[in-house]
Amino acid sequence: MSTLSRREMIAAPVVFAAATAGVAAATDKKMTLAMHQNTSNGAGYRKSLEGWARAGIKDVEITNILLDEFLKTDSLASARQVIADLGLNPVQGATGVTELFEPNPNRAAALDNLKRRCETYASMGINRVYATTATNKKITADDYKAGAQNIHDAGDVAKQFDMSLRIEFLRTSPFISTLPTILKVTRAAAHPNVAPMLDCYHYWSGLSKLEDLDMIRPGEIGHVHFQDVPDIPREMLDLTTRIIPGDGVSPLTRILSKLSEKGYAGPLSVELFLPKFQQGDPYEVAREIRAKSEAVMQQAGVM
């Protein structure tokens, strides 16, 4: 075992103090509540944002589906102006692009689709996008090595637009469905424009474990989707069983506290699929979500 030099011994307290200050600064930052447009899918692009703004929501996540529908009759400039006029902060855009990460014959087309999505969102002033690990492909062990390179290639596309690409693992994906796997593969990709995402529904209803959160490195998580699950057998859970944070049995305060400990201080974007939310009045839906979600956030000490 080597011994410290006198210079290293003198410098050690300073280095430790700087590191401690960095951790303290990270944990002092607070998370913000956001709304994902999937939650008010039935209201359309403009009306969903208008209703949320009335309810006091500032951070919003844009979906490619509602944006595409809006652009059939209006312009990108108008889409951006809606956000500006309402004083909203677009924290991320959904690309809707699949077949990006697992080896498959359609990857070249997927990369082109990602490029087009990045270009569109960049025109709106959005510099953070995400794609999921959804696939029906039968996966082999060798696919994970190729997957890391594929993720790196997707990161290069995002880099062309000065964007951050976040990757969301899905509980139903045969490729990447857990927190440990997304961390391992994105680390192997080692691209500065790529970050793993954590969706509370996919995390808690899937094969991940609570202690898996300890594997996260400081500042590693790029974005969080925020939902709860009801007290029913996990085998019965699907997209439509996502509920408002605080209405279910997920250990959300423990999850948020651990994420805060790991330096996450970004948006918590509520993404729900139940028809009563998607077809409901965006203002009333957002009011209920805000009240219940902020109560959970306050209990976790992250706002």
pLDDT tens digits along 186-218: 999 999 999 999 999 999 999 999 999 999 999
- Please tell me the CATH code under which domain 30-300 is placed: 3.20.20.150
Whether 2 shows a pLDDT value over 80: the answer reads no
CA 234, CA 24: separation in Å to the nearest integer? 37
Q: Which helix (H) or strand (E) holds 92?
A: strand 89-94
Mean pLDDT value of segment 41-46: 98
Is residue 38 within 8 Å of 271, Cβ to Cβ? yes
pLDDT tens digits along 58-78: 999 999 999 999 999 999 999
Nearest 5°: phi and psi at 124? -95, 5
What tokens appear for 184 in the block?
């391992």
CA 159, CA 189: separation in Å to the nearest integer? 14
Supply the pLDDT for residue 13.
37
DSSP string, 225-287: EE-B--SS-GGG--GGG-B-TTSS-S-HHHHHHHHHHTT--SEEEE----HHHHTS-HHHHHH
This prediction's pTM: 0.89
- What percent helix, strand, coil does the chain show, rounded to 5? 50, 15, 35
Mean pLDDT value of segment 106-112: 97
Q: Which helix (H) or strand (E) holds 146?
A: helix 142-160
Please state the length of the chain.
303
Whether 259 shows a pLDDT value over 90: the answer reads yes
pLDDT, averaged across the chain: 91
Sequence-ordered list of residues with C-beta below 8 angstroms from that of 197, at least 6 positions apart, any chain = 130, 166, 167, 168, 169, 182, 221, 222, 223, 224, 225
- On the CB side of 82, how many CA atoms lie within 13 Å of its CA? 21
Supply the pLDDT for residue 235.
87
**% the chain with pLDDT above 70:** 91
From 67-76, 114-123, 176-185, 237-246, the region with the lowest mean pLDDT: 237-246
